[in-house]
Amino acid sequence: MTEREEAVAERDEDEYGLDPKLVQAILDAVDAGDAAQIDALMAPLHAADIADLLEQIGATERKALVGLWSKGFDGEILSEIDESIREEIIEALPPEVLSEAVRELDSDDVVDLIEDLEEPVQERILDALAVSDRVAVEQSLTYPEYSAGRLMQREVVTAPEHWTVGEAIDFLRNAKELPDQFYHVILIDPRWHPTGYVTLGKLLSSKRSVALSDIVEDSFRTVGVLEDEGDVAYAFNQYHLISVPVVDEDDRLAGVITIDDAMAVLDEEHEEDILRLAGVGDGSLSDSVIETTKQRIPWLAVNLVTANLATFVIAEFEGVITRVVALAVLMPIVASMGGNAGTQALTVAVRAIATRDLTGSNLWRVVRREVLVGAFNGIVFALVMGAVGWLRFGSPLIGVVLAAAMVVNLVVAGLAGILVPVTLEKAGVDPALASGAFVTTVTDVVGFFAFLGLAALVLL
């Protein structure tokens, strides 16, 4: 890395994320009960950085900080806080601060804030809203979880489809209230059906006499309130959308979903897949020891079961291992290499399924590729480990057995890494959640069986 690249990297590290010295200074101010110092240190911070700070410190420090700096909280900070500590923060805030913070939020942010909270806490927040806002939020909460109806915001900018650019601009200038951020003016017919939308750039760059219908975007499409939010996020990513109108069962405009919410869904799904592949559930760094233990125990138990299956295979060849002790030393190598190769193929497959890149039309091409990759990798490492087995134990036959088992297990690992998640996905089971245990079982069992079985045939 050049000096310039190092300087840029160091600058970026300082520019993004929290400075540990700042965190410590805030904690020192909390210990001292110095509210003025806390305010001076935290006032320049972005809402996302404040949320990170609250997530990084302990529960005791968090409660003390909220008590000393409660008036600094606004709606944006609440919407950024991880849901694992959200309820704790809300309960610690004075009612007047919470009410003011919630009133600043768009309806979709309020829904996201309260949908996973206990009912008494939900009521506290709903009571803080204006009647019209409360009705909108309660209506959104009637839609299924993870649906477009939950994700959308009710604040929408619309214009009759027969208006001109001038009429739309005059309307926007005279409007008493507009969303803080919006990207399109949605055209509607008399029955409130969306018929197209116009970007703000086109609106401002066109002459006043131009009809809005003449400058609508080709990308216009709508989604239903019951559509899965994951499908909506995929459409945003696939078709490069900025916002999309949401329609009810009668195709009437119900709200709009914007790109920031769609990308948040994609980010959550990617994070969920990673955590599930590792068998750690949906936990966060703020979870307690007990919560984290409960999340991880089931997957460790599954791993224990699969490990016992592998021991049954080993037990069948107990006599072989007794007569050729070197096999006991080399067995873990075969299983470990197969497990790693299977995890590589599995990760690629789960990611491709999530992004819909792995389909029936290209499945067998991908399977063939992974099998060939496994074979080539197996041959490379077979040559290496075959030589190691020969030199270390003085027997060329041990090297041959180790090499052959390596090839077999890496080929099977590549095959299992693709077919297991695809099969689970076809069966309606989340491949990220369940694939790891199956692939590990296959690679362990096949690895031990191939190695010990070949040893029994060749060495005895």
pLDDT of residue 8: 42
Over 60: is that where the pLDDT of 5 sits?
A: no
Q: Which DSSP string do the residues of 209-255 spell out, in sequence order?
A: TSBGGGS--TT---EETTSBHHHHHHHHHHHT-SEEEEE-TTS-EEE
Residues 53 and 184 in one domain: no
Asked if residue 129 lies in contact with residue 141, where contact means CB atoms within 8 angstroms, the answer is no
**Minimal CA–CA distance to 53: which of 75, 73, 28, 81?**
81
**Minimal CA–CA distance to 129: which of 99, 152, 109, 84?**
99
The model's pTM is 0.68
- Dihedral angle at the C-alpha atoms of 270, 276, 280, 283, nearest 10 degrees? 40
Question: Which of 156-170, 204-218, 317-331 has the lowest average pLDDT?
Answer: 317-331
pLDDT in tens, 384-415: 878 887 787 777 888 888 888 888 889 998 89
Residues 405 and 430 in one domain: yes
What phi and psi, each to the nearest 5 degrees, are found at residue 285?
-70, -15
Number of domains present in the structure of the chain = 3
In a domain, 43, yes or no: yes
pLDDT top residue among 160 and 366: 160
Over 80: is that where the pLDDT of 14 sits?
A: no
Residues 183 and 50 in one domain: no
pLDDT of residue 315: 82
Residues 411 and 347 in one domain: yes
Q: How confident is the model at residue 270 (pLDDT cuts 50, 70, 90)?
A: confident
- The mean pLDDT of the chain is 84
Residues 236 and 320 in one domain: no
Residues 407 and 348 in one domain: yes
In a domain, 6, yes or no: no
In 300-415, the DSSP E strands lie at none
- Residue 161 tokens read as 């489809």
pLDDT of residue 3: 46
Q: How confident is the model at residue 282 (pLDDT cuts 50, 70, 90)?
A: low
- Residue 51 tokens read as 């949320």
How much is the average pLDDT of 71-81? 85
How much is the average pLDDT of 275-289? 61
pLDDT of residue 284: 59
**Minimal CA–CA distance to 267: which of 293, 236, 243?**
236
Domain of residue 122, CATH code: 1.25.60.10
Domain of residue 194, CATH code: 3.10.580.10
Residues 123 and 187 in one domain: no
In a domain, 341, yes or no: yes
Over 50: is that where the pLDDT of 7 sits?
A: no
Amino acid at 397: L
- Residue indicated by tokens 């990513």: 237
How much is the average pLDDT of 244-263? 93
Gap between the Cα atoms of 280 and 273, Å rounded: 10
Domain of residue 378, CATH code: 1.10.357.20
Containing structural domain, residue 214: 158-259
Measured CA angle at 53 (ends 50, 58), to 5 deg: 140
Gap between the Cα atoms of 91 and 229, Å rounded: 29
